[in-house]
Amino acid sequence: MVASTTDLSYDNVSVHGGHSGTYCGHAKDTLREVVQAYADNNFAWVCLTEHMPTQNKLLIPPEETQQGFQPDQLQARFDAYFKEARQLQDEYQDRLDILVGFETEAYTGYEQEVADLIRQHQPDMIVGSVHHLRDILFDGGPEYYARTVEACGSIEAMYCEYFDRQLELINRFEPAVVGHFDLIRIHDPEYVDRWAVPAIRERCIRNLNRIKELDLILDLNVRSLHKGAPEPYISAPWLAYAIEHDIHIAPGDDSHGVASVAAYMDQAVSTLVAAGGHTNWPRPALARHVTR
């Protein structure tokens, strides 16, 4: 149990964590150092969920393009990630329960790429995440976000397209964890107003109902708090809906290095508890995903 500064008591866990500088161009520290930090912070269990590699040169993230990575190098690095993660899983088994998985993308061609990675590496679990629309990395920065809005025609249309793509991903792979449910709000200072738009609201509720039907876990993701947002992903109205409808929720620190392991967890858990949620965290079922 973790005794927090807010008088909450809960098990430290992460359904979405473990990015490291070894295998991710925008993270820091080695994977071993990140895993050690989880152990040092007395985590009961953690899911290592490194980003999947793209096979499309045009979709390589900007920081990795600058480093000169090619698709075959990204694939080799990802293969090395799985090898080291499995070794750490065995090495730390008496101190830390590690689930080895990966985080999906949802760009053009992702369906085959995700299915191939599942077959090749047999992950314990996967996090289903959408970071691209129209093959633009909308969370790459405000300029990418603006380009995505323009490509979609309006910000409301972009939100709708995001939740439609998210549902497609959920239905195709049934990922154990749905990553940062409302990431699409990342660079929108008026995102609270979007939730009242009928077409957006209907899609959010539709997706949450599907998550409930499939018995998946919502990622209570603290990454937004690192960047100064007032609340974690998932936003207040959808968090309330999930709690009301008994949808599984568990925290994800979305760590990108030692410094972000367990960071902001108290704030996110306080938000959850204040909304009526509980801290009896669901653990992702092993191999809770499919390929279609």
Per-residue model confidence as pLDDT tens digits over 158-205: 999 999 999 999 999 999 999 999 999 999 999 999 999 999 999 999
β partners of residue 51:
103
Tokens of residue 274, six digits: 């204040």
Enter the pTM of the model: 0.96
State the first-to-last Cα distance of the chain, in angstroms, to the nearest integer.
39
pLDDT in tens, 129-171: 999 999 999 999 999 999 999 999 999 999 999 999 999 999 9
Cα separation values, 254 from 51, 87, 112, 127, 195, Å: 11, 21, 25, 11, 24
In whole angstroms, give the CA distance from residue 104 to residue 101: 10
